Homo-oligomer: A and B are copies of this chain.
Amino acid sequence: MPRFTEFETYDVRFPTSLELDGSDAMNADPDYSAAYLILRTDAGDGLEGHGFAFTIGRGNDVQTAAIEALRDHVLGLDVDATLDDLGGFWKSLVHDSQLRWLGPEKGVMHMAIGAVVNAVWDLAAKRAGVPLWKLLADLTPEQIVDLVDFRYLTDALTREEALEILRKAEPGRAERETQLRERGYPAYTTTPGWLGYDDAKLVRLCHEAVADGFTQIKLKVGANLDDDIRRMRLAREAVGPDIRIAIDANQRWDVADAITWINALKPYDVWWVEEPTSPDDILGHAAIAKAIAPTKVATGEHVQNRVVFKQFLQADALSVLQIDSARVAGVNENIAILLLAAKFGVPVCPHAGGVGLCELVQHLSMFDLIAVSGSSDNRVIEYVDHLHEHFLDPVTIEDGHYVAPGRPGFSAELNAETLAGYRFPGGKIWTELKEEGK
């Protein structure tokens, strides 16, 4: 009877602040980082589960300590029994009667649970010999709802309603899987739009995005309105009228400011505005959504859990829902959120980028397409072309689409060399930077 025998954590950081990749109105100088976990068993098959929480630098040590706090919840568990009841495993972490005080279900501790849950799913897919999206897409509706904790959701979505949604999607699964394998899943690119880039770089990257087959791009906004108007105009001229341009304020505004600012950019045809204000402000988003319609409100990368997503949907506070693979408590909670979005008929367009977020979240959108919403209409996964080279199974983009991964697992695994070299503060990269005085 194999058991979990090793639980190894790493504080991994990339010095991205040196390049201003990833700069936006709230995140001036991020060092993209991962609080990283490797799980090992004594099954003798050599398979490991990899998972991580994403942070942007300082505090990645705290995030790593939070994952460490779950060590005793995992070590010694029967691997087969755990994988057979991943819904129960999720609850054993999220509802720990002492740890839940640290949230409940939010922030550092909740992201730590996400890292552990995702690592176990990585192992599950590797043991099944399939990519995670395929493992999930082949589950029965009953198996899928067993993964979900409906606590606090039942005023919006019951287990029975979730089953109905999943059963309705069952007949078309095979056809959509074939489509997915042939065409991939639509992507959009944020690469042109970082605030730290000058106008010439913005325009050049806009042209490249169109040439690469993307039908949507995104610009960071919110630091200076005149700059934003100029950048939006340049981008619109560069991509032409048929390419969608989304904007992303990264929580910069209060409600009234958001409405003024967004309306000033409307002449350039804004597809969605992302994170116009605090991610906690459901009612604020609802007020903004009403005032800027038909421009859409998108949010989710900082939405802490399924209970807050539920309310965003109940309040008509978003019309594009952006799941994040490493913000909530892992695959199980994202399935709950996909089901909520399907219930409310709202498209899911995941947040990605950072470290490995593209690698992870593609699996969830592909599962959604096959088994939950049954559609990729008006759905795109964010794509940012940073740091993929550090992953063993990096995403592949072809003609503006994510190619369905074929390798078993959750595509979560960093190269061994990267794990060692970027470990903070002792890894080779950081030692060299320190010597150079940066």
A positions within 8 Å CB-CB of B: 26-31, 55-59, 61-63, 65-66, 69, 96-112, 151-155, 251, 254-256, 277-284, 287, 302, 304-305, 307-308, 310-311, 314-315
Contact = CB atoms under 8 A, between A and B. Distances in A.
Contacts of A302: 104
Going nearest first, the 3 A-B pairs with the smallest beta carbon separation are A107-B107, A57-B98, A108-B108
A99 B27 CA distance: 10
B109 A152 contact: no
A98 B307 contact: no
B107 A102 contact: yes
9 contacts: A31-B98, A58-B99, A59-B101, A62-B66, A102-B108, A103-B107, A106-B304, A152-B284, A282-B283
A309 to B, nearest CB: 10
Contacts of A106: 103, 106-107, 280, 304
A340 to B, nearest CB: 13
A188 B111 CA distance: 37
Contacts of A28: 97
A255 B107 contact: no
Given A105-B278, A152-B278, 14 more contacts: A27-B97, A55-B102, A58-B69, A58-B99, A102-B107, A102-B111, A104-B278, A105-B280, A151-B254, A152-B277, A155-B256, A155-B284, A281-B307, A283-B315
Interface SS of chain A? loop
Given A102-B59, A108-B102, A280 B305 contact: yes
A229 to B, nearest CB: 23
Contact of A65 (B65, B254, B280): B65
Given A58-B69, A59-B102, A69-B62, A97 B281 contact: no
A152 B97 CA distance: 32
Contacts of A55: 98, 101-102
A101 B304 CA distance: 11
Which of A61, A106, A310 has most B Cβ within 10 Å? A106
A310 B105 CA distance: 20
B255 A155 contact: yes
A58 B109 CA distance: 11
A256 B153 CA distance: 11
A254 B107 contact: no
Nearest to A287: B155
Which of A101, A104, A307 has most B Cβ within 10 Å? A101
A97 B23 CA distance: 11
A312 to B, nearest CB: 10
Nearest to A279: B104
B155 A98 contact: no
A280 B304 CA distance: 9
Contacts of A102: 55, 59, 62-63, 107-108, 111
A55 B69 CA distance: 14
Given A62-B69, A103-B107, A107-B102, A282 B311 contact: yes
Contacts of A31: 98
Contacts of A284: 152, 155, 307, 311
B109 A109 contact: no
B58 A96 contact: yes
A200 to B, nearest CB: 26
Contacts of A280: 105-106, 152, 304-305, 307-308, 311
Contacts of A282: 282-283, 311
Contacts of A112: 62
Given A106-B280, A254-B154, A277-B152, A58 B311 contact: no
Nearest to A308: B280
A32 to B, nearest CB: 10
A62 B105 contact: no
